[in-house]
Structure 1
């Protein structure tokens, strides 16, 4: 059996990964009796972590919002700053960042008192309106929807489809997806009895319905493919090129829009994902170095077409002199 301190940390970690744990399941995960589990829960409460207990067949333990922020290694100002930062990272176009950002955001906001959540929303809206033309998604919406997906719990919300009045929906949430710098919820709509994708910036009053469900089979390869098909967004290209320049120089040129892996002292492999081939070719042009296209074939043909066009522009015929 683990010592008391390490077991308490393990208990806290488990409580942060599910909306609600059955007592017997939680005790089994920790390898202790339910009596010991109750003592460990009391110890967390003494440390300031708000753990709710419910009795009955559906009873268990749940980490809940508290009157004050629990004693994490953060004060309130730091927690607000972290939540705002993670919200911005979740809305960003940095490949792979949105998933880890929403996990971190969910953990922090889950234990925030309401007054701090309101501050996070106000600051997020101010930052997005000043720096981006993209629609704002409230932090509370992101976290409530993410938790419902994680816990396989039905979700209720009001949704305003384009050009229509808001309507009440109850769904079985499946995944959160970012496509074209927008957040979408992929879910099974219990009113329409069909799969739907919902833009999060058009979704309000999100709340868990309190009923669990068994996930259905999605009628698509994955959630991102489902959203692209529903929105008419083309599949992105995964462009790869071997660039004959140091990795540091290429990273400086392309910034967050690509990933760079070293392929020798003076070469690297640049990978970019885009629904358009224009941006990758412009990014490679800004590097100012020789490169070789590794894929896909469509990009190689596009580079060839661009090259021929520039050669013609540099060698005008007699009629244009």
Structure 2
């Protein structure tokens, strides 16, 4: 076996184990203990985080994160991976530490020169925009860790009326319009709630509360299905200009309910919970004159109140300017 093949095989073996010894590896690979010791030393010098455990029952361990074996990509796959990672830079915060930028740097560094040149020509010419929102990357990372290790977390949450302590079991994380959201089961409210990550002031893993199996089975796509099905509903109808269609097509709450017309305009018809009217009206308000709510009356009243507040605000501003 070539040395390069042997080292790659060794990386794959140690990556799959929490701990290992030189005799174990020597027996498995059919090599001498001296060769295995030398190979481990070489892997360590190459940056593989291997460390030795002294004493009885010792051996070696892989420090911190495990490493993936080498993967080959086609040219089109390489370009796709590069821009998939690069698109994340427009988020205000990410739950991945510095992993995304570090992986992108490594990935780009080892690309062939001609592929690098092609990617360089696309820089600042292909961009995936996201509104830049400020939030705690540390909180995002802890929420994602809780999902990965199946743990309850204790959060301090800004409700708009002050901070509240909550014990929650996160179901997932998703981003929309630059914000990160975390649907979760709230032990205080004994029900499912949607938390906006930028309102989470602090978060820590809580080992004192056991995770609920039924919550663990939920996903981003079905976490509130039971609540929505049980709620009293009414129809939301809104007409959309072509700009309104393009804007709300990107919104996961509306996209599947938009009926498209030949001229590019459209219409939304969907059933919504009665107690969520302001939530849906607020999202439609965000596209301005590109949408007009037809039903229900409560949603129209909500928009009228928003307009009244805006007019009052600018009326005060106008008086200050003219005084």
Q: TM-score range by the shorter chain?
A: 0.3 to 0.5
**TM superposition score normalised by structure 2:** 0.39
**TM-score, length of structure 1 as denominator length:** 0.39
| Structure with greater Cα Rg | 2
